[in-house]
Structure 1
Amino acid sequence: MAKVSFVIPCYASEHTISLVIEEVNQAIEKLNRYEWEFVLVNDCSPDNTFEVIKNLCVAYSNITGINLARNFGQHAALMAGFHQVSGDIVVCLDDDGQTPGNEVGKLLSKIEEGYDVVYAQYANKKHSGFRNWGSKLNSKMTEYLLDKPKDLCVSSYFAVRRFIVDEMVKYEHSFPYVTGLVLRSTKRITNVEVTHRERVEGVSGYSLKKLIGLWSNGFTAFSVKPLRLATIIGILFALIGFVVVLLLVIRKLLYPSEVLLGWSSTMSVLMIIGGIILIVLGIIGEYIGRIYICMNQAPQYIIRERIGINDLKEEKK
């Protein structure tokens, strides 16, 4: 009998995580063909989420609770959970009830068909307008920078085979990006449509700052295309500058008596070029800064406390 490990990053979900566990328990029990466990990772929630997780660990013998020392972000929390799983299949879902735990059978069925990774796809997302816009932009950027197939929808609700997880946990650098780790590990990925629910409580923890940070983690860690794009932009502006100079020389030769004025236009061009240079330097600096941080062995996550079935595993990665 195959075993399924559910990894759930938790943040400010003291009122919802118990409902998610109950729903998943009922759904997987009805399938009657899997053993299962839960790994709940508290990403330093400001409420009593970890106290709720402790109570769940007492109530269920198949739950491991992990409490991170500070807020490391959703992807680092997932990596912390991946290091604790023992299942043949790993399923990741949200802690707020928006991802339908009762439809996990759809993802597992696709895994049984031979796919390595199955992402849930939502016909109608119930996120805010800002979050939906961010998801669309992220999808386009991932297509270009990480070579994601255009018809593939990536979400936080997905099932993945154990060998993919074993490959992902080999990544020990400070800025994990789970989507990038998946896309570089296999091409046997598909979608299955599920329902997306309204948020039961609270608001999304994703802000513009966090989304930009997430994009930076993914695109600087798994792609050099930003650097190549900066090079192309530099070449284009150099060519434009060469053409403009050539035109000015030709004009001066044709009309030698004409006085060429253009202080304001010259300053505008210099400001544009200067801005582009600073942007390019910023991109290069981002790469160098991340290399420096990785060389200093900054941790992906630090575990403050662990309770449950995996107490003997090492506490720091």
Structure 2
Amino acid sequence: MSKSQIQYSIVVPVYNEELVIGETYKRLKRVMDSTEEAYEIIFVNDGSKDGTVEIAKTICNMDKNIKLLSFSRNFGHQLAISAGMDYSSGNAVVVIDADLQDPPEVILEMIKKWKEGYDVVYGRRAKREGETFFKKFTAKAFYRTLKSMTDIDIPVDTGDFRLIDRRVCDKLKSLPEHNRYVRGLVSWVGYKQTGVEFVRHERFAGETKYPLKKMLKFATDGIVSFSYKPLKFPLYIGGAVSAISVIYFIAYLLKAVITGTHASGLNLALSMIFFLVGGIFIILGIMGEYISRMGDEAKGRPLYIIGDKEGFKDEA
């Protein structure tokens, strides 16, 4: 099967998904076979330490439509998505996680929208099943905060589950930045975009690959990559502190005039000092995030390293 014959590329990043990858393959195969068009499914192994790779290789050996990329180590979810897109051959590329929270059956709706002329069709989560209140609340707050802080129209309540046209994929491949926020990049390149709603299910099996630490890192990537507003925080903080200082000074004078005494402002002064010191460290931390990312880009290292490939021809 040559590249020109492949209509759809399904990119599936996997990390320690031995409990679910078999079922993921079955459901994706059933959906894609129903299109009666040529397709490939690319599993991208992001440094799994369980039996994920062995299962994926077995699937590759029995199904010529399945391919496997294995990183030399764990490079992260967003770079796994990027690698899958880089090695994809289809006229349309679909990104979907392996946990089956995003139903593969929705891909058929995305394909329909694509054939209507849309270049990007993203999945919008109308409902999230099996998630804690904390996860739902923080996700909702993050998407709306990011939208308010950027000039780019990044749809809220969406993940990386989406279909993109080949020309959009090629534009994304030309973007070299390391700390990637793929869904933001997809919005940044533009083109004709629309969404389809779906109910996000509970994980089929296994544990989430986005604990709180990774969620915070992901949120930081999104904000720092697409907004310079945090760099303006020092101005806001400085203005607020100045206003508080003026108000305190006026209140201190009025109290002294009315009571005829000299009220001690030592405790408040100490509080102000600690507040200022904390603010300085926050500002330095924000600046450090931007500077460190500039350093990452200046180093010019590759985004990822492929340790092994299965199912790819020499010319792929």
Give the TM-score normalised by the residue count of structure 2.
0.89
| 3-state SS in 1 of match to 2:38 | strand
Aligned equivalents of 1:224, 1:70: Cα separation in 2: 32
Aligned to 1:29: 33
Question: Aligned-pair distance for 1:178?
Answer: 0.3
Q: Do structure 1's residue 16 and structure 2's residue 20 form an aligned pair?
A: yes
Question: Aligned-pair distance for 1:103?
Answer: 2.7
Question: Aligned-pair distance for 1:262?
Answer: 1.1
What does the per-residue CA deviation read over 1:99-146, in whole Å, with 9 as the maximum and x for residues that have no partner? Answer: 211231101111222222212223331242143233212212221233
Deviates more, 1:194-203 or 1:259-268: 194-203
Distance 1:48 1:85, change over 3 A: same
Q: Is the 8 A contact 2:9 2:40 kept in 1?
A: yes
Question: Aligned-pair distance for 1:85?
Answer: 0.8
Aligned equivalents of 2:25, 2:234: Cα separation in 1: 46
| 3-state SS in 1 of match to 2:159 | coil
Among 223, 226, 229, the alignment partner of 2:227 is 223
What does the per-residue CA deviation read over 1:51-72, in whole Å, with 9 as the maximum and x for residues that have no partner? Answer: 1121122112222211111112
Question: Aligned-pair distance for 1:257?
Answer: 5.2
Moved over 6 A (4+): none
Corresponding letter in the other structure for 2:275: I
Aligned equivalents of 1:55, 1:126: Cα separation in 2: 32
Aligned equivalents of 1:160, 1:272: Cα separation in 2: 47
What residue ranges of structure 1 are gaps of 5+ in the alignment? Answer: none
Q: Do structure 1's residue 95 and structure 2's residue 109 form an aligned pair?
A: no
Aligned to 1:163: 167
Corresponding letter in the other structure for 1:162: R
Q: Is the 8 A contact 2:12 2:44 kept in 1?
A: yes
Among 104, 107, 110, the alignment partner of 2:110 is 107
Question: Aligned-pair distance for 1:189?
Answer: 2.5
Aligned to 2:8: 4
Question: Aligned-pair distance for 1:224?
Answer: 0.8
Question: Aligned-pair distance for 1:311?
Answer: 4.7
1:39-50 pair list within 5 angstroms: 39-50=42-53
Aligned to 1:209: 213
Q: Is the 8 A contact 1:90 1:159 kept in 2?
A: yes
Aligned equivalents of 2:227, 2:180: Cα separation in 1: 13
Give the TM-score normalised by the residue count of structure 1.
0.89
Aligned equivalents of 1:295, 1:68: Cα separation in 2: 23
Aligned equivalents of 2:239, 2:85: Cα separation in 1: 43
Aligned to 1:191: 195
Aligned to 1:118: 121
Distance 1:238 1:170, change over 3 A: farther
What does the per-residue CA deviation read over 1:153-192, in whole Å, with 9 as the maximum and x for residues that have no partner? Answer: 3123211112221121222222111012012111633221
Aligned equivalents of 2:263, 2:214: Cα separation in 1: 49
Aligned to 2:148: 144
What does the per-residue CA deviation read over 1:225-248, in whole Å, with 9 as the maximum and x for residues that have no partner? Answer: 111234322222223323433554
Deviates more, 1:220-229 or 1:144-153: 144-153
Q: In percent, how many aligned pairs have the same letter?
A: 29
What residue ranges of structure 2 are gaps of 5+ in the alignment? Answer: none
Aligned to 1:57: 60
Q: Is the 8 A contact 1:173 1:299 kept in 2?
A: no
Corresponding letter in the other structure for 1:117: V
- Aligned residue-pair number: 311
Among 177, 180, 183, the alignment partner of 2:181 is 177
Aligned equivalents of 2:92, 2:154: Cα separation in 1: 25
1:121-132 pair list within 5 angstroms: 121-129=124-132, 130-132=134-136
Aligned to 2:283: 280
Question: Aligned-pair distance for 1:207?
Answer: 0.9
Distance 1:284 1:199, change over 3 A: same
Q: Is the 8 A contact 2:154 2:187 kept in 1?
A: no
Question: Aligned-pair distance for 1:41?
Answer: 0.3
Aligned to 2:237: 233
Deviates more, 1:70-79 or 1:53-62: 53-62
Aligned equivalents of 1:196, 1:256: Cα separation in 2: 64
Question: Aligned-pair distance for 1:148?
Answer: 5.7
Question: Aligned-pair distance for 1:81?
Answer: 0.8
Q: Do structure 1's residue 307 and structure 2's residue 306 form an aligned pair?
A: no
Corresponding letter in the other structure for 2:73: R
